[in-house]
Structure 1
Amino acid sequence: MKVVIVGCTHAGTIAATQILNAHPDTEVVIYERNDSVSFLSCGIAVYLSGEVGDPDAMFYSSPQQLEKMGATVKVKHNVLSVDPTTKTLEIEDQETGKLTADYYDKLIITTGSWPVIPPVSGLENNNLYLCKTYYHAKKLFNVAKESKRIVVVGGGYIGVELVEAYLRQGREVTLINSSDQMLLKYFDKQYSDRIGRVFKDHNAHLALRQRVTGFKDNGNGGVSVLTNNGKIYDADMAVLCVGFRPNSDLVQGKLELHPDGTIKTNAYMQTSDPDIYAGGDVTSVHFNPTNTDRYVPLATNAVRQGTIAGVNVFGNKMKYMGTQSTTGLHLFGNTMVCTGLTLRKAKEFGIDADSVTIEDNYRPEFMPTTTPVFMTLVWEKGTRRILGAQFMSKHDVSQSANLVSVCIQNRNSIDFLAYVDTLFQPNFDRPFNYVNLLAQAAVEKEDKKK
């Protein structure tokens, strides 16, 4: 059987590895626009901050490694069209311009995503940059060496990580965000306000509730960033990171898509064409807290979907369990992690939900040191089903999000989490783990309504 994979970052790399490990006699052909595969773009910020010195270390595979496993890897090749009827592809060699055709028995679309480019003026400015690929990372690192003032547009995950990275490098950084809070999709405002104060303590300028309307040369070799309230921010460089969109143009009109442009798949990562599978940022995911499909472009989702697609091209055996969109950040020594829904998001989905927020030390006060944990739990009223959680602390609380993620996956209640067995040892936690205490606070709040 011949399997063609289009796109080879997270999902594509994992799909190819899965196929060649389990079925080494399979003919696997990979087409990739770039000259590299498997770049961990989530590591760009730690590279820009100087914490990681070599961006080449952020590749976990290579064309050579995949070829050694038995794949044919064609980098700098762009697939121009797909014909599901004849199972053929048209490909352009980006170095020579030569057009060729290929065929497949099974096709896996893992073309990923691309930064959202808002419809504003001045996008051609030479001092405006994107943040997605290996080449973006190299360019951002080199340009920042000569840049004293930097504007970051967008207060999502990438934006806030870039702000921290450049502040650590001693740059003057302004963050422009259209909302009144950073990290709006993931955290409540009280969390964003806390990390905002940390940023301000490190001399960041937060320009919130402002929407960028354009870019222009500032006359000094830099860029002026214009906003809807009439303010102008002069900088040596600006980075645009306001979100991502799926790279699904290749299959427009060929496969069923969601309204947001993501490819529709079933639980086996199979598209509307039974011989075409898809995974990663080009697809939606099944979001368990709401039991709906959503666009959640995370590497964790991509590697799971890529694995499942690689298994199921030989027959649908492995189902996707869905996701809770569990994720985290580490900003100036603060761990910020979340899973599932915030209360605001739950209400937007029409769920009758409630939440509780508490702060408590992660281990007993008689220990030489301890650290407070700020935490929130969200649940559905009536059913008491857990919908989401957020944690923030100087202590490493990252695994707490994973624990609550499992509870959401299993549709557990706040009562379950309140008293589920967790270890106690004074070096690590209290007789009741702080996650137990959070759930107990939720139970108390819910029971008071009776």
Structure 2
Amino acid sequence: MKVVVIGCTHAGTAAIVNTAKLYPEAEITVYERNDNISFLSCGIALYVGGMVKDPQGLFYSSPQQLAELGVHTKMLHEVVSVDTENGKLVARNLRTGEEFEDTYDKLIMTTGSWPIVPKFEGGELNNIVLSKNWNHSNAIIEKAEKARNIVVVGAGYIGVELVEAFQLNGKQVTLIDAEDRILSKYLDPEFTDATEKNLQDHGIRLALSEKVTRFEGENGNVSRVITTKGEYDADLVILCIGFRPNTDLLKDQVEMLENGAIIVDEYMRTSRDNVYAAGDSCAVFYNPTGQHAYIPLATNAVRMGTLVARNLVEPTVKYMGTQGTSGIKIYEDNIAGTGLTEIAAKEAGLDVEAVVINENYRPEFMPTHEPVKLKVVYEKETRRILGAQLMSKADLTQSINTISVCIQNHMKMEELAFIDFFFQPHYNKPWNFLNTAGLQALPLVPSRQPAHV
């Protein structure tokens, strides 16, 4: 069996390693257009902020390690076309420019995503960089050393983590986003309001509800960012506007969402025989809505990549879908979320209610008893749990993983109220705060059930 893998980051590495172990007789060839593989891009802010001392720890595999598994890894090789009808591809050696043809029995597409880069006037100026791969992270660190005023465009996870890292390094930082809230895809206002205040209290300037219109510069270097509402001095600009799936190779050959994300079934198969896909190039099955959605997360990628290998010869293990569970630490605040926010649920046309609790996570007689804010969103008619968000200075984020399982299993608020959680004063109260959220959502008058005869 001849297996070709295009792209080698989270999903690609998981697919390659597991394929090599499960099918030792397979001939596996990997095409990677970069000069490195398996870079943990979600660690960029930690690297930029100096928390990661050894950047090699951000790589969890290497061509040498794959070679030990019998994998042929072609670095700095870009696949320029794929013919899924005939099981062929054309690749280009980026060192020499040589192009050649290869064939496959099974094709695994793990080409990932690429940052969205609008065509701004002045976008060609120096010191305007992206934040995606290893080379980007090194460029950011090198340029940030000489920069005083740094502007980050895009207030998602990457953007928020970067502005914190730059502020801790003594920089003057501005965060720009067209939305009226930071982290608006992940959190409701109860959480983003507090986080915005936290950033501002640390001296970070927020320019929300503003769109970048152009960049201005001096001597070929960026010096100012112009938006619809103002202008901001900038020695360095990092664009973190979002990502799009990198799937042009399969355009018009497999089924995709409108944004180009490849649609796969529960066994990671595309609509074309013998072509599989995983990771940020794909749509995922989003359990809260029961529809495919584009949610590029490393956790989705490694699960999907592993499942590709498991199902490469025959369908064996189904993908359970995702809740889009994620977390972030901003200064002392530990924040996590899963499933739909209340705003996203209503935008999806769902009739929902939500309960918000604010309480100390463990008994007040303990030396410390940090408060926790928890919001749980549920469907009004069925009372099915659809999402949750949590914030606390104590690290209670694993509780969001528990809610993720609840959503996965279509549990209701009544069940959350009475789930069996242990009690120990070091860790919680007799009623765990997850129970408390469920209890608060119980109807004031229980519905009458037919009596047993």
Q: TM-score range by the shorter chain?
A: over 0.9
Q: 1:43 to 1:445 in 2, by over 3 A?
A: farther
354-363 or 402-411: bigger deviation: 354-363
What SS does structure 1 have at the residue aligned with 2:366? coil
Take 1:234 and 1:105, find their aligned partners in 2: how far apart are those partners?
54
- By how many angstroms is 1:407 displaced? 0.1
- By how many angstroms is 1:284 displaced? 0.2
Partner residue in 1 for 2:298: 299
- By how many angstroms is 1:339 displaced? 0.2
Partner residue in 2 for 1:392: 391
* Matching residue's letter, 1:54: D
Partner residue in 2 for 1:333: 332
Take 2:445 and 2:235, find their aligned partners in 1: how far apart are those partners?
52
Partner residue in 1 for 2:159: 159
Take 1:24 and 1:383, find their aligned partners in 2: how far apart are those partners?
48
User: Deviations 1:299-326 (Å, cap 9, x if unpaired)?
Assistant: 0000011011111111111111000000
Partner residue in 2 for 1:104: 104
Partner residue in 1 for 2:441: 442
Mapping of residues 232-311 of structure 1, within 5 Å: 232-311=231-310
User: Deviations 1:85-106 (Å, cap 9, x if unpaired)?
Assistant: 2211100000000011110000
Take 1:318 and 1:2, find their aligned partners in 2: how far apart are those partners?
22
Take 1:200 and 1:218, find their aligned partners in 2: how far apart are those partners?
29
**Contact 2:125–2:220, Cα closer than 8 Å, also in 1:** no
Take 2:220 and 2:318, find their aligned partners in 1: how far apart are those partners?
56
Q: 1:37 to 1:221 in 2, by over 3 A?
A: closer
Partner residue in 1 for 2:49: 49
- By how many angstroms is 1:406 displaced? 0.1
437-446 or 189-198: bigger deviation: 437-446
Take 1:273 and 1:287, find their aligned partners in 2: how far apart are those partners?
22
* Matching residue's letter, 1:366: F
Mapping of residues 312-323 of structure 1, within 5 Å: 312-323=311-322
Aligned length: 447
What SS does structure 2 have at the residue aligned with 1:357? strand
* Matching residue's letter, 1:187: L
Take 1:6 and 1:224, find their aligned partners in 2: how far apart are those partners?
39
* Matching residue's letter, 1:318: V
Partner residue in 1 for 2:366: 367
- By how many angstroms is 1:222 displaced? 3.8
**Contact 1:155–1:175, Cα closer than 8 Å, also in 2:** yes
Mapping of residues 101-180 of structure 1, within 5 Å: 101-180=101-180
Q: 1:94 to 1:207 in 2, by over 3 A?
A: same
* Matching residue's letter, 1:299: A
**Contact 1:127–1:223, Cα closer than 8 Å, also in 2:** no
Take 2:298 and 2:250, find their aligned partners in 1: how far apart are those partners?
22
**Contact 2:22–2:309, Cα closer than 8 Å, also in 1:** no
**Structure 1 unaligned runs (5+)?**
none
* Matching residue's letter, 1:392: M
* Matching residue's letter, 1:199: L
- By how many angstroms is 1:141 displaced? 0.8
Take 1:223 and 1:423, find their aligned partners in 2: how far apart are those partners?
56
- By how many angstroms is 1:275 displaced? 0.6
What SS does structure 2 have at the residue aligned with 1:179? coil
- By how many angstroms is 1:223 displaced? 2.4
**Contact 1:377–1:442, Cα closer than 8 Å, also in 2:** no
* Matching residue's letter, 2:179: S
- By how many angstroms is 1:442 displaced? 2.0
- By how many angstroms is 1:447 displaced? 6.8
**Contact 1:125–1:223, Cα closer than 8 Å, also in 2:** no
Partner residue in 1 for 2:451: none
- By how many angstroms is 1:197 displaced? 1.0
- By how many angstroms is 1:372 displaced? 0.2
* Matching residue's letter, 2:83: D
- By how many angstroms is 1:290 displaced? 0.3
Take 1:404 and 1:257, find their aligned partners in 2: how far apart are those partners?
30
* Matching residue's letter, 1:88: K
Take 1:220 and 1:332, find their aligned partners in 2: how far apart are those partners?
35
**Structure 2 unaligned runs (5+)?**
448-453
- By how many angstroms is 1:273 displaced? 0.8
**Contact 2:285–2:292, Cα closer than 8 Å, also in 1:** yes
Instruction: Note if 1:14 corresponds to 2:47.
Output: no
**Contact 1:131–1:241, Cα closer than 8 Å, also in 2:** yes
- By how many angstroms is 1:338 displaced? 0.2
**Contact 1:289–1:387, Cα closer than 8 Å, also in 2:** yes
**Contact 1:212–1:226, Cα closer than 8 Å, also in 2:** yes
- By how many angstroms is 1:124 displaced? 0.9
* Matching residue's letter, 1:266: D
- By how many angstroms is 1:120 displaced? 2.2
- By how many angstroms is 1:437 displaced? 0.9
* Matching residue's letter, 2:177: N
Q: 1:359 to 1:4 in 2, by over 3 A?
A: same
Instruction: Note if 1:24 corresponds to 2:24.
Output: yes
**Contact 2:224–2:234, Cα closer than 8 Å, also in 1:** yes
Take 2:389 and 2:330, find their aligned partners in 1: how far apart are those partners?
15
**Contact 2:382–2:412, Cα closer than 8 Å, also in 1:** yes
**Contact 2:215–2:222, Cα closer than 8 Å, also in 1:** no
- By how many angstroms is 1:221 displaced? 4.6
Could you tell me the TM-score, scaled by structure 2's length?
A: 0.97
Partner residue in 1 for 2:432: 433
What SS does structure 2 have at the residue aligned with 1:443? coil
- By how many angstroms is 1:35 displaced? 1.2
**Contact 1:223–1:238, Cα closer than 8 Å, also in 2:** no
* Matching residue's letter, 1:260: N
**Contact 2:126–2:220, Cα closer than 8 Å, also in 1:** no
What SS does structure 2 have at the residue aligned with 1:46? helix
Q: 1:227 to 1:53 in 2, by over 3 A?
A: same
Take 2:296 and 2:276, find their aligned partners in 1: how far apart are those partners?
17
User: Deviations 1:94-135 (Å, cap 9, x if unpaired)?
Assistant: 000001111000000000000011232121111111000000
* Matching residue's letter, 1:275: N
Take 2:318 and 2:385, find their aligned partners in 1: how far apart are those partners?
23
Take 2:264 and 2:100, find their aligned partners in 1: how far apart are those partners?
29
* Matching residue's letter, 2:234: A
User: Deviations 1:142-192 (Å, cap 9, x if unpaired)?
Assistant: 111111110000111111011111111111000011111100001011211
**Contact 2:128–2:222, Cα closer than 8 Å, also in 1:** no
- By how many angstroms is 1:327 displaced? 0.2
Q: 1:109 to 1:446 in 2, by over 3 A?
A: farther
Partner residue in 2 for 1:189: 189
User: Deviations 1:235-262 (Å, cap 9, x if unpaired)?
Assistant: 1101100100000001112222111111
- By how many angstroms is 1:54 displaced? 2.3
